[in-house]
Amino acid sequence: MAEFSVIGKPFPRIDAKAKAMGDAKYTADMRLPGMLYGKVLRSPFPHARIRQIETARAKGLTGVRAVITAADTPKIKYGLVVDDELPLCDDRVRYVGDEVAAVAAIDRDTAEEALDLIEVEYEELPAVFDPEEALRPGAPVLHEQFPNNVASHLNFERGDIEAGLREAAVVLEETFRTQCHHQYYMENVAALANWSEGKLTIWCPLQFLEIPRQLLAKALNLRLSDIRMIQAYVGGGFGGKLDQKLPVVTALLALKSRRPVLCEHTREEEMQAARPRVPMIIRLKMGARKDGVITAKDTQIIADNGAYSNWAQGILSTAATRVDSAYRYRNIRTDAKLVYTNKTPTGAFRGFGNPQITFAVGSMIDMLARELGIDPAEMHRKNATQTGDVTAHGWVINSCGLTECIDRALERIGWPAKRQQKTFGRGLGVACAIHVSGNRIIGDYDGSAAFVKLNEDGRANVICGEGEIGQGANTIFAQIAAEELGVRYEDVDMSVADTDVTPFALGAWATRVTAIGGNGVRMAARDAKRQLLEAAAEKLEANPDDLVIREGVISVKGLPGRSLTVADAVKASMYKKGGTPVIGRGQFSVDTTVQVGKEKFGNIAPAYSFACQVAEVEVNPETGVVKVLRVVAADDLGRALNPLSAEGQVEGGVVQGLGYALCEELVFEDGRVLEPMEYEVPTAWLAPNVESILVEPIDPFGPYGAKGTGETPLVPVAAVIANAVCDAVGVRITSLPITPEKIRKALKAKQEAAGR
């Protein structure tokens, strides 16, 4: 195995010091001369026709510089997959929170006051909140181009589902329900836009810039290159900052007022009008042989889209297919629908449809194992995908540490011994997950590009647009560049993502940044190194192939006296007749396929990550309160390029998953979020001491064998906890979150049934 000097070391995050000092500038921390403050007027109704909007009084208020409605926009619909959204509502609103108008004023108080002066005359329309009701004939229709309210419909079959069910010794059916779950990133969405010298510049915390720039250009009818988007520090995203309306509205205010405008969501707006996780109703029928081999999986999904789609088609596709590659299924059938309702539009959240389906499947495997009287862990092991498999959807598994994840997680928690000392109220649960490192779904491109620029002082700049969203991408990229160049980690600086400067980048989603972005940076660093060594070889009168670089010093192999610093080699490359600065260019493309049509077949990612988690819980049968005593999370992430950062991803993902499993839910009543400020996310009190185990099978694709790990650790948590609760008190909770009330109710029903 190669010896690395920077890769695999637990370096502190490259931006940690700036963040620890309060020096890192997030969007809402920025100020421009003449800057205005913007505010959005939102619909109070879940479904209504806009009769008339009167803005004269708002416009007349001193200090107000712009009041905009749909009349001030080109009224072009846009969307990632289907065009179903306008920047500001024209004649109809479709959810409580829909953007109707916006103002920009010299200060926040004036902007607020102006909002109150806008008069909107609405005519309420019948609304539909339940996706099953929205599918019924005669239900209110949200978008005329989707007369059945179905935004996306997938169905496919592999193998022979009926034969699989016949082969089974046991067949179980259950309906699982998952809730609306908010990303609850600590930094509320904000945008700062400035229209100057014929260019619209937008600073914002989006997780990617190029696709939003394309959508913005379309919606505002601007040339793509007239828009410059720059990523500010991102205060958490978790998928929620892939699609946001606020930058679009802020841009419109800047165009109208010809002044810089800053808009920020309040926390209430975040809860009512951001893009939380897609809730799903999952009907699952699965069969298994006596030995635990799964013979059939029959799935029906109804996903609650909310009022607009954006990423939700991709999320439905993920829920419909992803979990199928964690196990060696032969017979599967899936029917999945994405349904419009008059509620907050949903979107991406860590796992992208995968936690929803993994809760259902992970619970079902546990139910089958109990029915068959076998160890559920054994059932996971027996069906687990292996290296070299081509799965039911054509996914090519080049590295798979799933079995090792299962073995090591069980060993750490002491599974067999603990299972024997069974006491009522204490339980163990296990579940597994698969996730992608990349996902070829946008415009049939999945690759990455970067520049590496070397400075005359020997330091390097990595110029890359993939983006840092708090997940540690820039740290990993700096490590990769340092490793390739032979300079110290401390001698690499990272650019911010900036569409005028950084190469086209798809950005931070689908856990793609380390594996795909990392390869782009690696290529660029190698190109820079080649140029550097050519210059050094001339100076040292040696062959470039005989040169090595360590800690910023270039030397001739076997000749310790002959050396040159990287700084001097950069100068040597430049300061001569015909000399050039050292700028490496890296372009990298991934050989995957788009899962086409309704059939959804094809190898969508260059690498796949796996996980197994086990948890021990204590359930108080009187109160129904679940205390999570321990979570062991084994995560197959290929080579851990930075173990400290990888552990952080695992720990954070697990605790977010515990929120999903146990307490977090956006509850709607008539389309309005109830008690938005009472939304409960885990604090340190709820979080157990998560023990992470990094399983590192070397992947042939990823840089140095690395795969992604951003999303995977959240995916199995809800199933693990549901299984542990069932093990503790004998009740199966099939809807999330697993609240004390649901447990009490289930225990009561069980007692009553036993007493009969």
Partner 1 sequence: MATRIPMSFTINGDRYEMELPPQRTLLELLRDELGLTGTKESCGAGICGACTVLVDGQPVSSCIKMAFQVKGREITTIEGLAPGGQLDPLQEAFVRHGAIQCGYCTPGMIIIAKGLLLQNPYPSEEEIYEAVGSNICRCTGYVKIVEAVRAVARGER
Chain residues in the site for partner 1 (CB under 8 A): 10, 12-13, 15-26, 28-29, 31, 183-188, 233-238, 266-267, 469-472, 644-645, 647-648, 651-656, 677, 681, 683-685, 687, 689-690
Other beta carbons within 10 angstroms of residue 126's beta carbon come to 11
- Contact residues for 368 (Cβ-Cβ < 8 A; gap 6+): 170, 172, 286, 287, 288, 292, 294, 379
DSSP for 531-550, written as a single string: HHHHHHHHHHTS-GGGEEEE
Contacts of 692 (CB under 8 A, 6+ apart): 633, 634, 635, 646, 647, 650, 651, 654, 713
Tell me the longest C-alpha to C-alpha distance in the chain.
Answer: 97
Cis ω for the linkage preceding 74 (within 30 of 0):
no
- Provide the residue type at 675 as one letter: E
Tokens standing for 19?
């963040």
State how far the Cα of 344 lies from the Cα of 179, in Å rounded to an integer.
Answer: 13
Tokens, residue 88: 């500001």
Question: To 5 degrees, how large is the angle CA 270–CA 275–CA 277?
Answer: 115
- Picking from 364, 370, 406, 366, the residue whose alpha carbon sits closest to that of residue 385 is 406
DSSP string for residues in 421-444: S--TTEEEEEEEEEEES----STT
679-696 burial string, b = 16+ CB within 10 Å, else e?
Answer: beebeeebbbebbbbbbb
**DSSP 3-state of 26:** strand
Q: Residue 414 contacts by C-beta under 8 Å, 6 or more apart in sequence?
A: none
- Residue 173 phi/psi, 5-degree rounding, is -130, 140
Determine how many CB atoms are found less than 10 A away from the CB of residue 215.
20
From residue 177, alpha-carbon distances to 37, 53, 361, 429, 731 in Å are 41, 40, 12, 19, 16
Give the start-end residues of each E strand in 198-312.
Answer: 199-204, 227-231, 261-264, 280-288, 294-306
DSSP characters for 680-737? ----TTT---EEEEEE-PPPSSSGGGB---SSGGGTTHHHHHHHHHHHHHS----BSS
Give min distance, CB of 274 to partner 1, in A.
13
Please report where in the chains the tokens 């019948």 appear, as a residue.
126
> CA triplet 69, 71, 75: central angle to 5 degrees?
100
Helix H or strand E segment including 92: strand 92-93
